[in-house]
Structure 1
């Protein structure tokens, strides 16, 4: 393949976008990173519905890291890593808290918990993203969203 052909093919494909930042326990700063991710997704022609859903999952995860993990402690930070290409979004958020067991979070949809706050963010993230994993300590979440994965968002796509 000639250099000209290779250059033409590369122009049709927007390269992978990545971001790595360590931010203070401040939700205003975390929102700025969400805007950068959405811009990257838009450049790669992600559907508008995925833009909203991925931003929502990201914001839930980072707010959980700040609020529950770091307990709003301004001396602690949150490490955010994100990558986006044409077909997949990858997000990892790590706080400096003691961690938690995600399996210990009760389902907030059961009758006796409907009126009780808590656990909805974890449920929402699991409904939106294609795949989520936590590290052993429970202070790091890794989320993946695949563009063609309609099963993760609970919505029928045609």
Structure 2
């Protein structure tokens, strides 16, 4: 039986009603461990009265990004790790995920809504993250994503009014 080591740092600043929360993890390339980490963030958001739709969207974006880092970035390599940093206050959430892969160019990811790609499995994670988060940016190498969610923000609402 193999036991995974997770390096964890967490901090809490402020008071019960004026607080920020943050946590940093270094995890192995294990999707099960990666998926569990978001529970602390969702709990911190709920304690700060974030609406359920935002909780769902942040969890969805996190799970897509962590799976992408482990599967595509690190290629499931047990020798590689993923760094996760999450912060939360009453108005803003930030998630940063960095893998040890070679990176990618997000501009080169084809739009899965193109007719010729509608029946192709996969390829929707990057689009989904952009649809549910307020801001998404990648480092120049493409092996680190930073996702921001502003409380109550509906990032895709503007596009759906066409």
TM-score by length of 2: 0.86
Match of 2:38 in 1: 34
Correspondence 1:118 to 2:122? yes
Correspondence 1:60 to 2:72? no
Q: Deviation at 1:20? A: 0.4
Q: Which 5+ residue runs of structure 2 have no aligned equivalent?
A: 1-13
Bigger CA radius of gyration: 1
Quote the RMSD (CA, aligned, Å).
Answer: 1.6
Aligned length: 146
Is the 8 Å Cα contact of residues 92 and 151 (structure 2) preserved in structure 1? yes
Correspondence 1:143 to 2:143? no
Match of 1:6 in 2: none
Q: Deviation at 1:118? A: 3.0
TM alignment of 1:77-96, pairs within 5 A: 77-96=81-100
Match of 2:80 in 1: 76
Q: Which string of whole-angstrom CA distances, capped at 9 and with x for unpartnered residues, describes residues 51-89 of structure 1?
A: 111000000000000000000001100000000000000
In structure 2, how many angstroms separate the alpha carbons of the residues matched to 1:27 and 1:48? 24
In structure 2, how many angstroms separate the alpha carbons of the residues matched to 1:12 and 1:70? 38
Q: Which string of whole-angstrom CA distances, capped at 9 and with x for unpartnered residues, describes residues 73-121 of structure 1?
A: 0110000000000000000000000000000000001100001123200
Is the 8 Å Cα contact of residues 112 and 124 (structure 2) preserved in structure 1? yes
* More strand per residue: 2
* More helix per residue: 1
CA separation of 1:97/1:15 partners in 2, compared to 1, >3 Å: closer, same or farther? Answer: same
**What SS does structure 1 have at the residue aligned with 2:69?**
helix
